[in-house]
Structure 1
Amino acid sequence: MTLQQLQYFLASVEHGSFSAAAEALHLAQPSVSEQVRRLEDELGVTLFQRVGRGLVATEAGRTLRPHAERVLAEVEGARDAVVDVREVRGGTAAFGVFGTSRYYLGADLVRAFHRDHPDVRIQLVGQNSSEVVDAVRAGELEAGVVVLPIDDAGLDVRPAMRDELLFCSADPAHLRSAMTIERLARGPLVLYDVTFGAQDPTRRQLTELAQRAGVTLEPLIDVEDPETALDLAVEGLGDTIAARGTLLAQRRRLSGRLGWVPFAEPIYDDFAFVWRRGAHLSPATRAFVQAVEERLASVRRRLDRVPRRHRPGA
């Protein structure tokens, strides 16, 4: 029994003859009658009897009819569901983000994506890149955007953009020249992402630089988010670091008492997309990845609005 045979059977019931059914289906009459005959042979029953020049369903035919209608309706529903996902008319965009991603993506990205794809369910999960990587590898998320370096075992990694890290302080004496990792280790330091600590890619990068220089980074104050670290730096409780994208997002609220300089050997946050190696992303998640990629490109073009050097009070 095939879907085609059921379709031809229902058309014959509806139109009352093989010729009328064939015309409605844009087929030759023998094609319809032959498939109905094969269906009868398989079931071992007669589905139609001739009445005059037309066809009338037998009791077996009347019994089959609701089952055939239900089967074809289910198939059509399955087809529509798949098309909805293929054309991003439905489905779920399950995407991981790192903790400071709000400075680069923002609520307006979600707002714009929802406007373009109102039937797609959006899940943004994650507080740190290491957490996102674990969730993607475990199949809990389809994809994510992270800060490198990460453990990329079992993952495909596609670079997205680079953002420079700057040294921030309210003390002009600390900003007379580009910062070095040795001087950073000697000063009062405020660092963010305390929950993930050494697992955080930015802290991991700073720690590796310090180890190669033979020094140790021991923050005076550990906090959770960059905004708090910047606020404490403004108050003079310690110096901190911030990416230019963070400073760009916070420029309207930053006190004029805060300044910054680059590192003598520039340090960067490298952002990348990750997904399981060889995985095929759902259309919804693929569309969201594209939206994130476009947004990051827009941010990258605006980073020059944040000068690499800025004096407090300027």
Structure 2
Amino acid sequence: MNLDLTDLKLFIKIAESPSLTQGAKRACLSPGAASMRIKSMENELGEGLFHRQHKGLVLTLAGQRLLIHARKILRQLEVLKAEFDHRDEADGASMRMYVAGFSAFESTQRRLVRYLADHANVAIDLQQRTAGDIVRGIREGAVDMGVVVGSDPVEGCASITLPVLNYVAVLPRHHALVASASLRLGDVLRHPQVGLATDSTLCRLIEQQADIDGIVAQFRIKVSGAESLCRMIAEGVGIGIASDAAVQPYLDVCGLVARRLDETWARQQHMMLVRHFERMPRHVTDLVSYLSAA
């Protein structure tokens, strides 16, 4: 079999792209050259790798099998390189990381700022995905690491506990609830709300707890990010609930305060998933250690 690493890298890029044209662009090839290489791979393997449809390419069963093996081969090559390469990121390093949930995603982004500033040659492909996508990606070798809610073991993945994510009430400095010794969800939901449309995990938690308490939330508006939420609250539109990490950068500038909720559900345990701790490249190990530090 005469497949080489260039073939495998091209195949992965096309398989992960909406079209051959975009995959070829990511591989710095013309669509024609990429198409010829894919056809050559199919001839070599004796099976088609893609169904060519009007809307683009779809992997065949053979293509799905090759994708799993190709990712494993390239991942193992990275481990081998890290094992024998003692230079300090001389050639740079790239990682792919998936995070489940908007609050965890924003928290992770904030924590990566300092890491990336201190590691100038590291590149991270950070994406918000579902927990199912993350587990599947880890098992198939498509993702270096992923962050999910929970602490229970996940089959086919190794895990490490991350710092707890705290949900807080975001309030104007002179709001009546600021002086409350203990703040519960019911206290917050009795006031007009500014919500986070992008945080489905938080929305679900609030809805479930509100149903238990027999409370109906009055959302005046739902916005797409923590900064918009804070600015709406600063203008007197309402108050809101968000993760502490997401709103911290905007509290002082908007004249707001964050108060922790005295609720069990408001403290969410997260964990980092990887395939194998003992076989991770050094740069992945370094990042996992950094993010798992309290």
Say yes or no: TM over 0.5: yes
Q: Secondary structure at the match of 1:221?
A: strand
The residue type paired with residue 261 of structure 2 is F
**What is the CA–CA distance in structure 2 between the aligned matches of 1:173 and 1:105, rounded to whole Å?**
32
Residues 155-199 of structure 1, C-alpha deviation per residue, up to 9 Å, x if partnerless? Answer: 44321111432211226224342332223333211222x2462xx
- The reply on whether 1:179 has 2:183 as its aligned counterpart is yes
* Structure 1 pair 82–189 and aligned structure 2 pair: CA distance change class (3 A): closer
Structure label with greater radius of gyration = 1
The Cα shift of 1:221 comes to 1.6
- The reply on whether 1:140 has 2:145 as its aligned counterpart is no
| Alignment counterpart, residue 113 of structure 2, candidates 96, 101, 107 | 107
Q: How many residues align?
A: 205
- The reply on whether 1:289 has 2:288 as its aligned counterpart is yes
The residue type paired with residue 82 of structure 2 is V
**What is the CA–CA distance in structure 1 between the aligned matches of 2:271 and 2:288, rounded to whole Å?**
11
**What is the CA–CA distance in structure 2 between the aligned matches of 1:161 and 1:154, rounded to whole Å?**
23
The Cα shift of 1:282 comes to 3.2
**What is the CA–CA distance in structure 2 between the aligned matches of 1:103 and 1:136, rounded to whole Å?**
20
Give 1:259's aligned residue.
Answer: 257
Pairing of 1:157-236 with structure 2 (within 5 A):
157-170=159-172, 172-177=175-180, 178-192=182-196, 194-195=197-198, 197=200, 200=201, 202-217=202-217, 219-236=219-236
Counterpart contact for 2:78–2:281, Cα < 8 Å: no
Q: Which runs of 5+ in 2 are unaligned?
A: 1-76
Q: Secondary structure at the match of 1:85?
A: helix
The residue type paired with residue 166 of structure 1 is V
* Structure 1 pair 92–102 and aligned structure 2 pair: CA distance change class (3 A): closer
CA-atom RMSD in angstroms: 3.5
Q: Secondary structure at the match of 2:238?
A: coil
Counterpart contact for 1:95–1:142, Cα < 8 Å: yes
Residues 77-118 of structure 1, C-alpha deviation per residue, up to 9 Å, x if partnerless? Answer: xxx98653224756532222443135641423112133xxx3
* Structure 1 pair 275–263 and aligned structure 2 pair: CA distance change class (3 A): same
Counterpart contact for 1:169–1:236, Cα < 8 Å: no
Counterpart contact for 1:165–1:268, Cα < 8 Å: yes
Q: Secondary structure at the match of 1:242?
A: strand
Q: Which runs of 5+ in 1 are unaligned?
A: 1-79, 298-314
Give 2:240's aligned residue.
Answer: 240
* Structure 1 pair 242–277 and aligned structure 2 pair: CA distance change class (3 A): same
**What is the TM-score of this pair, normalised by structure 1?**
0.53
Q: Which moved more, 1:128-137 or 1:163-172?
A: 128-137
Q: Secondary structure at the match of 1:291?
A: helix
**What is the CA–CA distance in structure 1 between the aligned matches of 2:274 and 2:242, rounded to whole Å?**
27
**What is the CA–CA distance in structure 1 between the aligned matches of 2:231 and 2:193, rounded to whole Å?**
13
* Structure 1 pair 165–285 and aligned structure 2 pair: CA distance change class (3 A): same
Counterpart contact for 1:103–1:245, Cα < 8 Å: no
Q: Secondary structure at the match of 1:125?
A: strand
Residues 14-36 of structure 1, C-alpha deviation per residue, up to 9 Å, x if partnerless? Answer: xxxxxxxxxxxxxxxxxxxxxxx
**What is the CA–CA distance in structure 1 between the aligned matches of 2:143 and 2:109, rounded to whole Å?**
22
| Alignment counterpart, residue 85 of structure 1, candidates 75, 82, 85 | 82
Percent of aligned pairs sharing the same letter: 18
Pairing of 1:37-76 with structure 2 (within 5 A):
none
**What is the CA–CA distance in structure 1 between the aligned matches of 2:220 and 2:250, rounded to whole Å?**
23
Residues 139-164 of structure 1, C-alpha deviation per residue, up to 9 Å, x if partnerless? Answer: 42121234448995654432111143
The Cα shift of 1:240 comes to 0.9
Residues 25-57 of structure 1, C-alpha deviation per residue, up to 9 Å, x if partnerless? Answer: xxxxxxxxxxxxxxxxxxxxxxxxxxxxxxxxx
**What is the CA–CA distance in structure 2 between the aligned matches of 1:259 and 1:82, rounded to whole Å?**
45
Give 1:52's aligned residue.
Answer: none
**What is the CA–CA distance in structure 2 between the aligned matches of 1:108 and 1:83, rounded to whole Å?**
28
**What is the CA–CA distance in structure 2 between the aligned matches of 1:157 and 1:107, rounded to whole Å?**
23
**What is the CA–CA distance in structure 1 between the aligned matches of 2:128 and 2:183, rounded to whole Å?**
28
Q: Moved runs in structure 1, 4+ residues, more than 6 A?
A: none
The Cα shift of 1:134 comes to 5.6
**What is the CA–CA distance in structure 2 between the aligned matches of 1:176 and 1:223, rounded to whole Å?**
27
**What is the TM-score of this pair, normalised by structure 2?**
0.56
**What is the CA–CA distance in structure 1 between the aligned matches of 2:134 and 2:228, rounded to whole Å?**
23
The Cα shift of 1:241 comes to 1.7
